[in-house]
Structure 1
Amino acid sequence: MGLFPLLRDPPVFLLSFLLGAFGLMLHNLLQAWLADRYGERAPRWQGFLSLDPRVHLEPLGLLLLVLLGFGWPRPVPTRLPGSKGFWVALMGPLGFFLAAFLYGLLARFLPYPFGEGLFVGQRLMLLHAAIYLFPVPPLDGAKALYAVGGLEARRFLDQLAGLGPLGFLLVFLVLSYTGVTGSVVEGLAGLLQALYRVFGL
């Protein structure tokens, strides 16, 4: 689980970790960019349109990236309602998917340790894209549903949010060990391969 098995190959471990961290930043950058386009100024004021890792990353999220292969960045400050909030939330998983596409593309042309590290980074990003789509607070899927859902949906999400970080980790582990996450990852991987074929790769 996580990146620990890669410790026997330090260059691949380091590159995979850095690519995972960059993917977390790309998640935030796309959300902040779209929120800014919609007129929400808080992301810009707080530096989320920059490439400063100190703005985007937090120690616990990076630690869990190593331990579980799944981490999280600092949340982008936005309160956009309705369809705008929905699309801003979904830009997060799209950022992970875009990173997976780019990592897989580069991995085809670069030698060891870059190719190996990029393929690991691609798998990490597909996992993040899949998990962040789930409607479980504080994930993007929950934020998207909260933006466009009705009162009952919001009450349900508030109840889930009340479980706190331990509740989220429990849901994450259940989804992982029951194969739900793996199925979504496989679906996204299939979509990724279809895109490569479109580009003749």
Structure 2
Amino acid sequence: MGLLNLLTTNPTAFVIIAVALVLSLTVHEFAHAYVADRLGDPTPRRFGRVTLNPGKHLDPLGTLLLLVAGFGFAKPVPINPANLGRWGVLWVSAAGPISNLLIAVVTAILLRVLPQNDLTFQVLLTVLGINVVLAVFNLIPIPLLDGSRILGALVPSLGRSLAQFEAMPFSFLLVMGFIFLAREPISGIINTVQRWVLGVVGYA
């Protein structure tokens, strides 16, 4: 279900989810760009991506899909692997999901320590949930996702095959089809990680 349905049925939830998505996607892509920049690759800075300005990271098609289909994507951060080396690519790839996990943990802490009302609880739980989804989803080791680049850095021969698959026509549609078919186990993992994050900070 897309976010547009909430615009008429629950405008408050629409605004909360939309803002949380934009900020979470922005931090995710900024983390990729920042780590690449710090490791010596000037490519993200050259494209203006070392910033927390959402306008530099949001993809028009990905944003439209978020509104109408409930899933989407931001613009990938361009990097030059030759400037980073194998382990640099690994850390750049992992930076996005790690940033989302950190946001989820901080949000869980706020849920535990802040005085609660309905709006605060809704905002914090939404932010936590979105960032767990982004972290888990992007760590799936299939092409076009951060997990495939992490796997490719760990197993270079496999990384070349994954890169070749990404260059194929319709690779995006194939990946989306796989995710759709695997949505139930993926949802199970997401729920497990969310419970773990809440458990880590002792929130019941």
What TM-score, normalized by structure 2, do the two folds share?
0.84
For residues 161 and 121 of structure 1, the distance between their equivalents in structure 2, rounded to whole angstroms, comes to 33
136 and 27 in structure 1: CA distance in 2 versus 1, 3 angstrom threshold: same
Equivalent residues in 2 for 1:107-122, closer than 5 Å = 109=114, 111-122=117-128
> Alpha-carbon deviations, 1:74-105, whole Å to 9, x = none?
11111233111111101111122223234444
Name the structure 1 match of 2:140: 134
Selected match of 2:105 from 92, 101, 105: 101
CA gap 1:50/1:32 in 2 versus in 1, 3 angstroms: same
1:196 aligns with 2:201: yes
Q: 1:150 to 1:46 in 2, by over 3 A?
A: closer
From 186, 190, 195, the equivalent of 1:185 is: 190
| Count, aligned residues | 197
Post-superposition Cα deviations, 1:52-71, rounded to whole Å, max 9, x if no partner, equal: 22211112222222334332
Structure 1 runs not aligned, ≥5 long: none
TM-score, normalised to structure 1, is 0.85
1:148-187 alpha-carbon deviations (Å, 9 max, x no partner): 32324521452365242211211121121xx221122123
SS of the residue corresponding to residue 201 of structure 2 reads: helix
Q: For residues 3 and 101 of structure 2, what CA distance do their matches in structure 1 show?
A: 20
Q: Which amino acid aligns with 2:179?
A: F
Q: How much identity, in percent, do the aligned residues show?
A: 28
